[in-house]
Amino acid sequence: MTAKNDALTRSGFEHYYELDYDAATRDFERALAAHPDDAFAVNHLLAAIFFRELYRAGAMESSAYANNSFLSNRTPVQIDSKTERRIKELTERALALSDQQIAKNPRDANAYYARGVTRGMQSTYLALVNKSWFGALGSAKGARHDHEKVLELDPQYNDARLVVGLHSYIVGSLPWPIRVVAHVVGESGNKASGLRDLSTASNSGGDAAVDAKVVLALMLRREQRYNDALDVERQLTAAHPHNFLFALEEANLLKDSGHGAEAITAYRQVLARAARGDYHDPHLEFAYYGLGETLRGHRDFAAAVEAYQAVEGLPRANADIRRRSELAAGEMYDVLHQRERAVKMYETVIASGGESDQAQRAREHLSRPYEN
């Protein structure tokens, strides 16, 4: 038996896709103890620990990646030094195990796949934690090459199409001058073929199928193919009804596609289910902010203020979403001709926002009331 088909691994992934990363970590720790030389077991534990930190920081909400604005965000995800050391140790261990297996058998598709997965997580870490875009690109390139090797050895190894498809889509999305440079240094990409690979991976029933669906839905959202993205997202919510992010993304897609009334209902359902305890550690600030934005679009400004201000009462709200909500609440108070309340919200944003875009807009609104 390998770690891939261990009962503890299966249990770990059930917790993982419910966003109960602590329970997933416990199961993956035990699976690794039973399979200490299995790179897959190391990767599973690495993923649970790393994505727990990303989720804690609010860095897994898809709206941040629905356009290219995240590339200009220089605020790194903060991870404590003990966890950083653990992530580094597991990354190095997984890479070493894969390298050893490839040295023994250069045609071992599983070893190339495992190494590509590790490199993919390393790329994400470098991008979001270290804000090292060049380092992240190097690891991403290595991940793609590993998974292209997997498909060369076994064309039916469809899990590998997740990384290959995502990389192809990203390169194909680059502005033409940059794409030419990428081609010169050996990088090619095509959005259509990337989406096809992602679709194949998502429908393969393999270990990466859920992750492939998540990525596919996000890429379809970027393409403004909202109905297709909703179809994929509803598959995820049906299979994982206790995953807060999947339910939130369905509401986000309804909002972005112009189905405002349905989006309002969806956000309120997410919040109601959270109140019943249906989700593990939900980041409700994203749901309240999305609800506020949708109500604002419907010109229900009083209800929008209520949604925005609900974020203030959350003890661990993402700082960026908190500032956005405070600024939006101030703007709604201006629209409602409640200037004193608007000024108070703008001052709050400035006090916490430093040189952020929200703080700059708040300063402008102090000088001149916001007009819708």
The pair of structure tokens assigned to 76 is 């790194």
Q: What is the CATH number of the domain that holds 99?
A: 1.25.40
Same-domain status, 11 and 89: yes
| Domain count along the chain | 2
83 and 173 together in one domain = no
Tell me: the pLDDT tens digits for 357-366? 999 999 999 9
Residue 146 lies in a domain: no
Q: Are residues 116 and 192 in the same domain?
A: no
Of the three residues 81, 107, 127, the one that is the final residue of a domain is 127
Which structural domain, as residue segments, surrounds residue 15? 1-127
- Say whether both 21 and 90 belong to one domain: yes
Q: Which residue from 311, 232, 226, 231 is spatially nearest to 267, judged by alpha carbons?
A: 311
Q: Does residue 360 belong to any structural domain of this protein?
A: no
233 is written with which tokens?
């997202």
| Alpha carbon distance 146, 221 (integer Å) | 27
Please tell me the pTM assigned to this model: 0.93
| Structural domain includes residue 287 | no
**Whether the Cβ atoms of residue 109 and residue 153 lie closer than 8 Å to each other:** yes
The answer to whether the CB of 32 falls within 8 A of the CB of 94 is: no
Tell me if 183 is assigned to some domain: yes
Same structural domain, 31 and 112: yes
Say if residue 31 is in the same domain as residue 70.
yes
pLDDT at 109 over 70: yes
Token readout for 218 is 């996000």
Does residue 83 share a domain with residue 200?
A: no
Q: Report CA-CA distances (Å) from 310 to 62, 273, 275, 287, 362.
A: 21, 16, 14, 10, 19
96 shares a domain with 3: yes
Question: What is the reported pLDDT for 5?
Answer: 78
Looking at the structure, do residues 37 and 121 belong to the same domain, yes or no? yes
Q: How far apart are CA 206 and CA 229, in angstroms?
A: 20
Domain boundary among 185, 201, 223: 223
3-class SS at 206?
Answer: coil
Asked if the structure places residue 193 within a domain, the reply is yes
Same domain, 120 and 163: no
| Whether pLDDT at 121 is above 70 | yes
Distance CA 361, CA 370 (A): 10
223, 242, 259: which is the final residue of a domain?
223
Does some domain include residue 273?
no
Per-residue pLDDT band at 335 (split at 50, 70, 90): very high
Structure confidence by residue, pLDDT tens digits, 286-310 = 999 999 999 999 999 999 999 999 9
| Buried/exposed 203-239: b ≥16 CB within 10 Å, e otherwise | ebebbbbbbbbbbbbbbbbbeebbebbbebbebbbee
Is residue 261 situated within a structural domain? no
The verdict on 119 and 161 lying in the same domain is no
User: Does residue 54 share a domain with residue 2?
Assistant: yes
Q: What average pLDDT score do residues 257-275 get?
A: 98
Q: Tell me how far apart the alpha carbons of residues 290 and 74 are, in angstroms, rounded to a whole number.
A: 23
b/e 181-197 (16+ beta carbons within 10 angstroms → b): ebeeeebebebeebbeb
For the chain, how many residues are written? 372
Is residue 62 included in any domain, yes or no?
yes
Report CA torsion sign: 8, 9, 10, 16. positive
Q: For residue 138, name the pLDDT band (cuts at 50, 70, 90).
A: confident
